[in-house]
Amino acid sequence: MRFTREERADPTLERPIRRAERAAAKADKAQAKLPKQLAREKSMDPATGKITTKLVLEDKKPPSRLGVREIPVTLVTTTVHREIRQSEKDNVGVESAHKSEEAAETGARLVQEGYRSHKLKPYRKAAQAERRLGKANVNALYQKSLRENPQLASNPISRWQQKQQIKKQYAVAKRASSFGSGTASQAGKAARTATDKARQAGAFVLRHKRGFGIVLALFVVVCMLLNTLSSCSMMAQNIGSAVAGSTYPSDDPELVAVEAGYAAKEAVLQAEIDNIESSHPGYDEYRYDLDMIGHDPHELAAYLSAVLQGYTLQSSQAQLEQVFEAQYRLTLTEEVETRTVTETVTDPVTGETTTQQVEQPWRVLCVTLENTPISSLASQLLTQDQWDIYQVYRATLGNKPLVFGGGSPNTSDSESLTGVEFINGTRPGNPAVVDIAKSQVGNVGGYPYWSWYGFPSRVEWCACFVSWCYGQVGLSEPRFAGCQSQGAAWFQSHGQWGARGYENIAPGDAIFFDWDLDGGADHVGIVIGTDGSKVYTVEGNSGDACKIRSYSLTYECIKGYGLMNW
């Protein structure tokens, strides 16, 4: 095979091409060392029909492992030795002589085998060189295919299938080349030989019909078994490919880091809105029309995975900026109105006080925040192929539903508080928020909590439930939809955090869980109270429902507590 100048200059193909060329040179050299023999080659002029004969040099065929004349000799000697063994049992001398004779014959055969091995040496070297050449050519073609199809490099199954396909194609091309290089006389001779062999095989099958029937039945059974195994293997490959294709390609720490980075942008935006009146002073009135700040972490992960495949915090910065600017639109508009106000005027001479209606300008700053869900942006910003991938990730949650703190997988029934005696600490807590949380026990699916938060459809809603409960008693914060990036971060940044083992928890505190013990919060609930050995909670999205749970105070999956200052 030949390679173009551009392929030789490609650094990814340089080493495989050189390896293939060295193997080809060695194969040519080994082929040249094969002994030659003169052979007559006939050719016919198609115009005149004249046949000419000439002598040509062609590779000499390797000697057979067992010469034709040796076959009957070997059979005879084997038969003779078998007859002698049966009659020599009673004669020790004959047995000894017979063993000596067998040893001599064995030595002679070893000498003959050594001689044949010596004669076959160049043919073995040529065959080995041809195998190495084939392997080098297949590897060069494989590397070329990877360069032309970089998407194959990310999937080991695709790489293996591609290499097997190249091997098959190379073998077919090699056989076709070998067949095409033969002369017409060789082809005719091969055809006649094949016909004779087929006739002999047919006669043999007719003479042994029953035996061949048994063999054919066994062959069919083996084929069925192999077909079943192949089907199972293909099914396993298909299942593996489906799971791999619907799983977020990024590592979990990177997924969480990117989510935290996006939540940090939202926190900056919230701080900007909170400080509008101090950063834009001098207005008579401030009017706010604000959508909720928040997003579904899985929508963001699905979007970035569809666009970037595997991503990191650093590689996703440009996309994060694009998505954030498209999702949030903060608009400040100044309006000037005319207001009629009553003024009191005192006459400096008489001291008489009068009132009058005066019109004066009234400056208003209108603050508007529009939040377009990432799901709506995805349909506008993604190509059709990316949109299809995005929908797969959304349907499967990337096969990592709890990576952003998605809830509890516990599907058992809600627990009873009958007979539980709570021990209060020095912190009063807030029994009202606990009563609200307990009144929601039995809710399935998380509506209206995620809707109240601002999500257009269901998300992992344990944090939304806690925020909703706090909102029902008039608290605007903490308000969070992500357990680790928003919830735990808020309590820690405000100095309101107690680690596992904290002894002074109170009703209404938030309790965070780390199911996989990787240091990040995966789930959150509201503390009902403690009886001294257990902590009792109300949790949203516990098996997709609101339930009462209890845990040992030393339970290792308790990450810590968000301490509420009522």
pLDDT tens digits along 455-473: 877 788 999 999 999 999 9
Query: What is the residue type of 43?
Result: S
To the question of pTM greater than 0.85 for the whole model, the response is no
- What pLDDT does residue 554 have? 94
- What pLDDT does residue 68 have? 41
Token couple for 79: 């038969």
- What pLDDT does residue 231 have? 56
- What pLDDT does residue 19 have? 77
- What pLDDT does residue 37 have? 65
- What pLDDT does residue 489 have? 92
Give the mean pLDDT of the chain: 78
pLDDT surpasses 60 at 72: no
pLDDT surpasses 50 at 400: yes
The pLDDT of 363-379, averaged and rounded, is 92
Looking at the chain, the whole-number percentage of residues with pLDDT higher than 90 is: 37
pLDDT in tens, 175-230: 665 544 444 444 445 444 544 554 555 555 455 556 656 667 777 777 676 666 65
Token couple for 305: 């995975």
The answer to whether the beta carbons of residues 266 and 259 sit under 8 Å apart is no
Q: Where are the alpha helices (DSSP H) in 181-285?
A: 184-207, 209-245, 252-274, 276-279
DSSP string, 428-472: ---HHHHHHHHHTTT-BS-TTHHHHHT-SS----HHHHHHHHHHH
- What pLDDT does residue 1 have? 60
Q: Burial level of 535, CB count in 10 A (0-12/13-18/19+)? A: buried
Comparison of pLDDT for 25 and 233, the residue scoring more? 25
Looking at the chain, the whole-number percentage of residues with pLDDT higher than 70 is: 68
Q: Burial level of 222, CB count in 10 A (0-12/13-18/19+)? A: exposed
| Chain mean position to CA 506 | 44
**In the chain, where are the structural domains located?**
1-43+58-148, 252-399, 431-562
Cβ neighbours of residue 470 closer than 8 Å, sequence gap 6 or more: 433, 477, 478, 479, 564
pLDDT surpasses 90 at 560: yes
Comparison of pLDDT for 536 and 25, the residue scoring more? 536
Task: Determine the Cα–Cα distance for residues 471 and 57; give it in Å rounded to an integer.
Answer: 97
pLDDT in tens, 427-460: 999 999 999 999 999 998 899 998 899 887 778 8
b (16+ CB within 10 A) / e for 462-475: bbbbbbbbbbeeee
Say which residue the tokens 């040519």 belong to. 28
**CATH 3.10.180.10 corresponds to the domain 431-562:** no
Token couple for 40: 């007559």
Strand 353-371, strand 497-499: pairing: unpaired
**CA 371 → CA 84, 296, 324, 515, distances in Å?**
102, 12, 10, 32
Q: Where are the alpha helices (DSSP H) in 149-183?
A: 156-180
- What pLDDT does residue 71 have? 43
User: Looking at the DSSP assignment, which residues form a beta bridge with residue 333?
Assistant: 366
Residue 75 pLDDT level (bands cut at 50, 70, 90): very low
HEC sequence for 108-156: HHHHHHHHHHHHHHHHHHHHHHHHHHHHHHHHHHHHHHHHHCHHHHHCH
pLDDT surpasses 70 at 562: yes
Kindly state the helix (H) or strand (E) to which residue 290 belongs, with its residue range: strand 285-290
- Which candidate, 23, 18, 3, 58, places its Cα nearest to that of 130? 23
Residue 84 pLDDT level (bands cut at 50, 70, 90): low
Lowest mean pLDDT among 143-147, 206-210, 273-277: 206-210
- Which candidate, 524, 374, 514, 386, places its Cα nearest to that of 454? 374
Say which residue the tokens 């439930």 belong to. 465
The answer to whether the beta carbons of residues 227 and 284 sit under 8 Å apart is no
